Structure 1
Amino acid sequence: MIHERFNFLRQLIISTVALAACMMTVAHAEKADQDKPIILEAEKVSVNDVRQIYELDGEVLLTKGSILITGEKGNIKVDPEGYEYVDVQGNPESTASFRQRREGPANEFMQGRGQTVTYNAKTELLTLTGDANLKRLHNMQMLDQLRGWKIEYDDVKQYYRVSPPTDAKPDDLPLARAILSPRRKATLEK
């Protein structure tokens, strides 16, 4: 009985957050970011040009156009088509972070944090894992916020998904939270 209630509540939370997120305004990541070079900074950088793998360790800072990813360590793999697959981890004292300017309304950003940040440039899929938090900001004012164990954001489909840990228990509820601003024209023009 408790297990059925938990599964129902879990699916309800995931569905509600996904539905609400789908109603967010349409603004995509800056397309100009795709053509920008990657700038890597870290205490230690290892480069394997043949395999197109870059290992970063210590105060990682990755910049590509308007994309900014920070963390303690990470790696980047580049596929034969030139798309990057980024995986950056935080440490016990600080989380990894992601920030990107949005195309469309001026001064709109997506900003997120988690113990792990992964970004697939080919599919434009961002995944934040471990006490994850994702915000949509306009003129540095928070419009929307998602919180949960794992947040997946598909920029192409404009889809958000908040998931609990696989070993979550019924007593752990609520496992996801969303704060979504009204979708009035006046809100977006401020």
Structure 2
Amino acid sequence: MKSKIFVTLRQLAVASLWVASCATSNAFAEKADQDKPLILEAEKVSVNDVQQVYELDGEVVLIKGSILITGEKGNIKVDPEGYEYVDVEGNSKSTASFRQRREGPADEFMQGRGQSVTYNAKTELLTLAGEASLKRLHNMQMLDQLRGWKIEYDDVKQYYRVSPPADAKAEDLPLARAILSPRRKATLEK
């Protein structure tokens, strides 16, 4: 009976995170980022201009407008429409990270870490995996914070999703944690 309660609590926690996050403010990713050049830094960069594939190795830094992604190893694929699909991994000593200014309120950012960072510029879907954390900051003050094994943030639909590892057991709870600021207060302070 105990495991049934935990499974129900897990499902409730994930559903609560999804519902609560649907109420996020109406700020979106910085739209000007789409038209900015892609700046790549790494110890080693391999460019296949025909296939529009870039391989990066060692102290990776990717900058595109207000987007900053760091890690140890990464690859980028650019589709025919010009949208980037980015995968960056950390290593045993450091995690991969993501930071982007949000459109609208000044000084509002999304900032996250994980063993891997995946960003789809076309759908504006960010995925952080492996002991992941994601924060929404305003004037460097935390508004929302999520922790879990895998975090997905969809900027277009304005929601977060925190998922446990596939092999998670009910006794491992809590597998996801969220701190969400009251929307009314966060809106009034902007």
Residue of structure 1 equivalent to 2:104: 104
Amino acid in structure 1 at the alignment position of 2:104: G
2:183 aligned counterpart, secondary structure: coil
Write the deviation string for residues 145-183 of structure 1: whole angstroms up to 9, x where unpaired: 011000000000001100000000111100000001112
Residue of structure 1 equivalent to 2:127: 127
Residue of structure 2 equivalent to 1:56: 56
Residue of structure 2 equivalent to 1:30: 30
Write the deviation string for residues 38-78 of structure 1: whole angstroms up to 9, x where unpaired: 00000000001111100000000000000000000000000
8 Å CA contact retained: 2:25, 2:187: no
Name the CA distance, whole Å, in 1 between partners of 2:183 and 2:79.
38
Name the CA distance, whole Å, in 1 between partners of 2:116 and 2:26.
26
Shift in Å at residue 188 of structure 1? 4.6
Task: Mark the CA change 1:186 to 1:22 in structure 2 (over 3 Å): closer, same or farther.
Answer: closer
Matched, 1:183 2:183: yes
1:26-175 equivalences in 2 (<5 Å): 26-175=26-175
Write the deviation string for residues 107-161 of structure 1: whole angstroms up to 9, x where unpaired: 0000000000000000000000000000000000111101100000000000110
Question: How many matched pairs?
Answer: 190
Name the CA distance, whole Å, in 1 between partners of 2:25 and 2:107.
14
Name the CA distance, whole Å, in 2 between partners of 1:123 and 1:2.
40
Shift in Å at residue 25 of structure 1? 1.1
8 Å CA contact retained: 2:54, 2:76: yes
Q: Which runs of 5+ in 2 are unaligned?
A: none
Q: CA RMSD in A?
A: 1.3
